[in-house]
Amino acid sequence: MEAIKLESLTHFSDDKMQKIPLFDSEKYFCDLYCLKPGQDQRIHTHGESDKIYVVMRGAGLFHIGGEERELEGGHAVIARPGEAHGVRNTGEQDLVLLVFMVPRP
Amino acid sequence: MEAIKLESLTHFSDDKMQKIPLFDSEKYFCDLYCLKPGQDQRIHTHGESDKIYVVMRGAGLFHIGGEERELEGGHAVIARPGEAHGVRNTGEQDLVLLVFMVPRP
């Protein structure tokens, strides 16, 4: 059985946000993003893909489609195709995100 | 911004497991499953789809591809195409699962 304890896979780097692959097929990616305070995923856009972020712990400032909002653990948010999106860890705790991207870019 | 507080959408029924749609496109479903103690999603199979379960709270007994394993909050597991899969809340707490299914069946 392909079961994973998410916290056992988290790792952080002083260098930049860490992206940890969990599951994928030719149709999607499912990853963990691990951001130390101050780290970010720069704002970017995918023309065809939905990206769903689920905040597992910590809090992040999300920029999606020109709006900004801080979301903490237990929240989910989606960037639809063509919506510019990014996230920054503006808190003092580590930030862990579960991220689904469909289809793969 | 399409942001959701997951716990604000959970609801349970004495009748059966509740499935709450969160996000979707023509390519995938993203739902919350809410199971009271004793409730289950019966074992079934999809020929083409991956299904990812993420345990948000509670604990469930997962049956995937002929294996059984209890998983609690913070664990994720995948049923690949053709793998029989189901889950039962065998605990005393409510069970909340985040579920991704790609592609839609």
Global ipTM: 0.94
Q: Is the pLDDT of residue B105 over 90?
A: no
The pLDDT score that the predictor gives to residue A67 is 97
**pLDDT mean over B52-61:** 97
pLDDT in tens, B40-55: 999 999 999 999 999 9
Predicted local confidence at residue A56, as pLDDT: 96
Q: CB contact, 8 Å: A25 with chain B?
A: yes
Question: Measured between CA atoms, how close is B45 to chain A, in angstroms?
Answer: 15
Mean pLDDT, rounded, of chain A: 96
Query: In this complex, do A74 and B100 lie within 8 Å of one another by their Cβ atoms?
Result: no
A78 touches chain B (CB under 8 A): yes
Structure-token match 């692959």, residue found: A21
Q: Give the pLDDT of residue B74.
A: 95
The answer to whether B76 contacts A22, with C-beta atoms less than 8 Å apart, is yes
Is A54:A31 a contact under the CB 8 Å cutoff?
no
Which of A51, A56, A102 to mutate to probe the B interface, most B CBs <10 Å? A102
By Cβ distance, the residue of A4, A69, A102 closest to B102 is A102
Residues paired with A31 in a beta bridge: A21, A99
Asked if B75 lies within 8 A of A1 by C-beta distance, the reply is no
Encoded amino acid at B27, one letter: K
What does the pLDDT look like over A13-51, one tens digit per residue?
999 999 999 999 999 999 999 999 999 999 999 999 999
| B52 inside 8 A of chain A by CB | yes
pLDDT of A105 above 90: no
Give the pTM: 0.96
Q: Given pLDDT bands bounded at 50, 70 and 90, which one contains residue B68?
A: very high
Print burial letters for A68-99: b (CB count within 10 Å at least 16), e (below 16).
Answer: eeebeebbbbbbeeebebbbbbebeeebbbbb
